[in-house]
Chain A
């Protein structure tokens, strides 16, 4: 899932300081799971800013709603009446949701309440880790199911580099060396010989370097 974290309340408040009526819009997708922009977080954020504004003698009329998903036009269409009278929308979705809103509500100021961090998963309650680099061409079958693109600080494909010590990365002693993990796992699986193949230079055009990407499934498209 997409993992996001809320920006500081003061920063969000600043973005809408000249607005009188604002819709705080949560998303029931990924950001609900990572506890950043679901119904609960949306209500808490709206209350915090409402209180802040009252204390500053600049009252804010804040309404809240949480969409099923902000990254799907069909769920945004339904909120037209909630948006109609507001000066701005504070989106608690990932960057995709913010952009879908800006696209649909052309005359509204739309601001992000979250920093979209990465694609990852939870480790324990309250801790999420980045796991996928979205490179567009998965190589996990060559690296024992551990992604060096995003988990190695240098995205090295034939690691580990000389900065790996005691299983940790030179960048941060709290970061596991992805290549130590790959080595350990390949060794345990008796597949160390696979690591002797020189992995060729990667085709980064399939990643963001090739420009904005599209995924197309013609078989499920509905002709109109």
Chain B
């Protein structure tokens, strides 16, 4: 089993990278995720496996990651701080590495209030910043979170984190990104970008600080199926900014799904050509995984580079 993350190799080679997202099912069959993985296989460099996203119980990201890996795509395991304390986190990290996982994306996780177990306790023993830092220490200093030595076979993860340019306070989002880079983040995936102007301002500040030289930044995009979906995200999902023009454009479209895909493809092309410092794109086709190949192809990002 290779120690090297394919995602890291593609990013380090300087090529514009493509990642996507697969959401594990609310049941115990891997058929759907295997299907999605096989379908996306040639079109992405790696795919995120979400960790009980929006706090809804789903198949574990690590277990789903094994299915995805066996179906030919390198997984990026998402790990939230909501459901595990530091003991469970490290245990899962060791297990994940033993199963061939090479990339971990560290994040806080949506509050359980939004999911299907709103009366659950939340953990947050460790926060996302601390998870990043300690994951790096596991790899580089060969120690557990407590400082005790990992005597052999320390997990050597490629460490990812998220950034949300659409949350507040706006300027501090860049500080926090820098803090994550200092902690050990090697790649960043952003929240879905709809407000391109704000993302450009964000990237301007990122470049001013030279952060794009220190970390690989993947811009998050999401194709929208309908104006209702856009309007929902505009009003009900915190930390998102969806401009009215986008909602209107979908509303006026004859074929809204087609329009949604076109918007997404335009966004990717714009990001790739016009915004300096972005190293790739992260396509979050939520419950619409089958459109990923088309988006990649029409954005001019196919074929994907081959790495060993």
Contacts and interface: CB of A to CB of B under 8 A. Distances in A.
Interface of A: 201-205, 207, 209-211
A211 B119 contact: no
Nearest to B124: A209
A204 B113 contact: no
B121 interface: yes
A201 B122 CA distance: 14
A207 B122 CA distance: 10
13 contacts: A201-B119, A202-B119, A203-B119, A204-B120, A204-B121, A204-B122, A205-B118, A205-B119, A205-B120, A209-B120, A209-B121, A210-B118, A211-B113
Contacts of A210: 113, 118
A198 to B, nearest CB: 17
Contacts of A203: 119
B17 interface: no
Nearest to B119: A203
Nearest to A207: B121
A204 B111 contact: no
Nearest to A204: B121
A202 B118 CA distance: 11
Contacts of B111: 211
Interface residues on B, range: under 10
Interface string B110-154: 011100001111100000000000000000000000000000000
B239 to A, nearest CB: 16
Q: Taking chain B's interface residues, is the majority helix, strand, or loop, or is none over half, making it mixed?
A: loop
Given A201-B119, A210-B113, 11 more contacts: A202-B119, A204-B119, A204-B121, A204-B122, A205-B112, A205-B113, A205-B120, A207-B121, A209-B120, A210-B118, A211-B113
B254 to A, nearest CB: 43
A202 B122 CA distance: 12
Interface in B249-281: none
Q: Across the A-B interface, give the 10 residue pairs with the lowest CB-CB distance, nearest first.
A: A203-B119, A204-B121, A205-B119, A209-B122, A209-B121, A205-B118, A204-B119, A204-B120, A210-B113, A205-B113
Contacts of B112: 205, 209
Contacts of A201: 119
Nearest to A205: B119
A68 B121 CA distance: 36
Contacts of A207: 121
Nearest to B120: A204
Contacts of B120: 204-205, 209
B28 to A, nearest CB: 21
A203 B118 CA distance: 8
Contacts of A209: 112, 120-122
Contacts of B113: 205, 210-211
Contacts of B119: 201-205
Nearest to B112: A209
A186 B260 CA distance: 64
Nearest to A202: B119
Contacts of B121: 204, 207, 209
Most chain B CB inside 10 Å of its own CB: which residue of A201, A203, A204, A211? A204
